[in-house]
Amino acid sequence: MYQFSYADIQTDSVADAKDRERQLLTRSIDMLVAARGVGTDSLEAVEAIHFLNRVWSTLVEDLGSPENALPKELRANLISIGLWLLREAEDVRQGRSDNLDGLIEVSQIIRDGIQ
């Protein structure tokens, strides 16, 4: 019979959560790259922006939660980045910007920083 300590389970849960975050950001990046290839007025761009909005809205909400274990300053910085991504994505959606490269690059930096 297996016995796991609470610390082992908690560590696995944190690792699993980080892995899911990396996977979601990778999917978002892949969708944005595909959209870049066909243009910001394409169905691919609409789907990529919609997915990015869902991911970052959820992340920003989680980062704002008092239960989030990240340091307060890091959480604040990530929230600021998330809000920028959401604003920039809205500008792309509204046709005021075609800055998919910025969305891709910032998302890659955040994804690559998850450890």
Q: What is the DSSP string of 49-71?
A: HHHHHHHHHHHHHHHTSTT--S-
Confidence bin at 8 (pLDDT 50/70/90): very low
* pTM of the full structure: 0.86
The answer to whether 70 touches 77, Cβ cutoff 8 Å, is: no
Average pLDDT estimate for 78-95:
97
Name the more confident of 17 and 72.
72
Whole-number pLDDT of residue 1 = 43
Average pLDDT estimate for 83-105:
97
Spatial CA neighbour of 26 closest among 91, 95, 97, 109 = 109
Contacts of the segment 107-115: beta carbons below 8 A, 24+ positions apart: 107/25, 107/28, 107/29, 107/32, 107/52, 108/29, 110/25, 110/78, 110/81, 111/21, 111/22, 111/25, 111/26, 111/29, 114/18, 114/21, 114/22, 114/25, 115/18
pLDDT exceeds 70 at position 2:
no
Radius of gyration of the chain (CA): 16
pLDDT exceeds 50 at position 6:
no
Whole-number pLDDT of residue 12 = 56
Question: Which tens digits make up the pLDDT trace of 10-67?
Answer: 455 878 889 999 999 999 999 999 999 999 999 999 999 999 999 999 999 999 999 9
Name the more confident of 2 and 68.
68
